[in-house]
Structure 1
Amino acid sequence: MRTYDDIKVGDKDFVKKVVTEADVADFARISTDNNPVHLDEEYAKTTPFKSRIAHGMFSAGLISAVLGTKLPGYGTIYLSQDLKFRAPVYLGDELTAYVEVVEKIDAKKRLRMRTWVENQKGNVVTEGEAMVMFNV
């Protein structure tokens, strides 16, 4: 297990996930966000996206997965997250969520992290910045 002192500015990690029909249905059920752009293909065809899209917060959840399991990892406390949704995420897209340490705040064992999610084409779909507390 990594210690706070092991982590350096510039450290980076990621997770990958293909967005499935079941993922979108489960996210809608759990979040209670039943917007038809996520769940109804006929409705989604009438939108600028022309097809169903995943919830924006689905991609943000992948950022949380990196922070909680990879970098910094287990015991991380998520304090804040700023997000910008740059592009739609379609069912079948393969997403890669990245985090990168941009600042260490030693007095409180906090890390400022650059966060972003790319699709399989390398397009950034979500980006932002997180603050986490290292708790191990």
Structure 2
Amino acid sequence: MLDNAPRGTICIEDIEIGMVRSLRKVVTDRDIELFAEVSTDRNPVHLDDEYAQDTIFEGRIAHGMLTAGLISAVIGEQLPGHGTVYLGQTLKFMAPVRPGDMVLAEVEVTGIDHAKRRVVMETRCLVNNKKVLIGEATVLAPSRKFD
């Protein structure tokens, strides 16, 4: 399940400090299986219930980068949106995401360099209002001057 979030582009000329965009998605077993296939990360903590029970997580968890991918979706689809170029991303994983968890992925503009078209954003993912991922993204935003 994915929220019907606004899609499109917010150009550098219209971006403001404090702007926030987000999406919500339930992470499913199928998502985890597909991510394992695409990434070739078949660590059994993601795929094998019996194995995962004996880990520090005491059960299966989603790939951290699957969760981080939701941040990429917000940036690429909403803020700034289509035409954005990712320049960098830091990530700190705070807690596991489990199959069935509803993840709220959010980005918030914290810095803008209009001359270089660079936007810095705080990034975070939450499950039940608990931060499971935090970080910072730097992107090259689209501009109306280059349409």
Q: Which interval holds the TM-score relative to the shorter structure?
A: over 0.9
Q: How many residues align?
A: 135
Identity of aligned residues (%): 50
Letter in 1 for 2:32: V
The Cα offsets for residues 37-87 of structure 1, whole Å up to 9 and x where unpaired, read as 000000001011111000000111000000000111111101100000000
Unaligned runs of 5+ in 1: none
Distance 2:31 2:98 in 1: 11
Counterpart residue number, 2:6: none
- Is the counterpart of residue 15 in structure 1 residue 23 in structure 2? yes
Counterpart residue number, 1:134: 141
Counterpart residue number, 1:87: 95
- Is the counterpart of residue 51 in structure 1 residue 51 in structure 2? no
Preserved contact between residue 62 and residue 96 of structure 2 (Cα < 8 Å): yes
Counterpart residue number, 1:63: 71
SS of structure 2 residue aligned to 1:48: coil
- Runs of 4+ with deviation above 2 angstroms: none
- Is the counterpart of residue 76 in structure 1 residue 69 in structure 2? no
Distance 2:67 2:30 in 1: 15
SS of structure 2 residue aligned to 1:108: coil
Distance 1:20 1:12 in 2: 25
- Is the counterpart of residue 5 in structure 1 residue 16 in structure 2? no
Counterpart residue number, 1:37: 45
Unaligned runs of 5+ in 2: 1-8
Q: Tell me by how many angstroms 1:4 deviates.
A: 1.3
